[in-house]
Amino acid sequence: MKKAVALLIGSVALVGSQAAMANHPYITPQAPWTFTGTVDVEKGIALTCTATVTITGPNDAADTSPPFNHTDVQNLSASITLTGGTLGLCSAVNVAPTADITYVSTGNSSGVFTLHDVFVTTITPGNCEGDITAVWTEGAPDTLAVSGVLPAVSGSDCQMNGTVNLTSPSSGNTSAPGDSDHNPNHGNNE
């Protein structure tokens, strides 16, 4: 009898863990996605830069039955390239790529992406490191709006404010558990 109860408890725990794994956000269509726009950056000097944000990750279709093309947010990575600005100085600001990304839905067509522990090499001494948050809004065009401060490693903090538009693919969708457009079969093969 004890073995039967242990087996039952183990089975329930396993089913519960699979359901929990299925409850994570994803993007469709699958990555890569590219955003382009204007971002103001400042650490000692203010620059208006052209920002290109590239989000990459695998096609996670195999985790769902029937499969559909998507990329789970937990498998995304992002790179940010800055160009332009006074005397082309934006290209001297280096934003290190990150693979630590989370997403919290604020409704079916909006939410907040957070790029965690991003390191920025700046023109002025000190550099910055911290989280970059971007508000996602689906529309025409789909956008990421960035407004915030990254703490300085030393010296003054870094500020980043602006909006980038999704340029490839032509439109996208983010979906998280609880959204009406979240695929109920997502993650059932994990």
pLDDT of residue 14: 35
Contact 146, 131 (CB under 8 A): no
- State which H helix or E strand residue 60 sits in: none
Would you say how long the chain is, in residues? 190
Residue 112 has pLDDT above 50, yes or no: yes
What does the pLDDT look like over 32-73, one tens digit per residue?
999 999 999 999 999 999 999 999 999 999 988 888 899 999
What's the pLDDT band for 13 if we cut at 50, 70, 90? very low
Asked if the structure places residue 63 within a domain, the reply is yes
pLDDT of residue 183: 87
CA-to-CA distance for 31 and 122, rounded, in angstroms? 29
Contact 51, 81 (CB under 8 A): yes
pLDDT of residue 84: 97
CATH number at 79 reads: 2.40.160
Range of the domain at 137: 25-175
pLDDT of residue 12: 35
Contact 36, 52 (CB under 8 A): yes
What does the pLDDT look like over 154-187, one tens digit per residue?
999 999 999 999 999 999 999 998 888 888 888 7
Asked if the structure places residue 150 within a domain, the reply is yes
Residue 123: exposure state from Cβ atoms within 10 A (0-12, 13-18, ≥19): middle
pLDDT of residue 188: 72
Q: Where are the alpha helices (DSSP H) in the chain?
A: 2-22
- State which H helix or E strand residue 22 sits in: helix 2-22
Counting residues of the chain whose pLDDT is more than 70, the rounded percentage is 87
Question: Taking Cα atoms as reference points, which of 181, 187, 149 lies closest to residue 40?
Answer: 149
Amino acid at 8: L
pLDDT of residue 64: 87
Residue carrying structure tokens 């490693």 = 153
Residue 57: exposure state from Cβ atoms within 10 A (0-12, 13-18, ≥19): buried
Asked if the structure places residue 67 within a domain, the reply is yes
For residue 7, the Cα-to-chain-centroid distance in whole angstroms is: 39
Asked if the structure places residue 182 within a domain, the reply is no
The pLDDT of 70-83, averaged and rounded, is 96
Asked if the structure places residue 187 within a domain, the reply is no
Predicted TM-score (pTM) of this structure: 0.85
pLDDT of residue 182: 86
Asked if the structure places residue 113 within a domain, the reply is yes
Asked if the structure places residue 5 within a domain, the reply is no
What does the pLDDT look like over 117-128, one tens digit per residue?
999 999 999 999
Report the number of distinct structural domains present in the chain.
1
The pLDDT of 105-114, averaged and rounded, is 92
Contact 83, 50 (CB under 8 A): yes
Asked if the structure places residue 128 within a domain, the reply is yes
Residue 1 has pLDDT above 90, yes or no: no
Question: Taking Cα atoms as reference points, which of 35, 33, 31 lies closest to residue 61?
Answer: 31
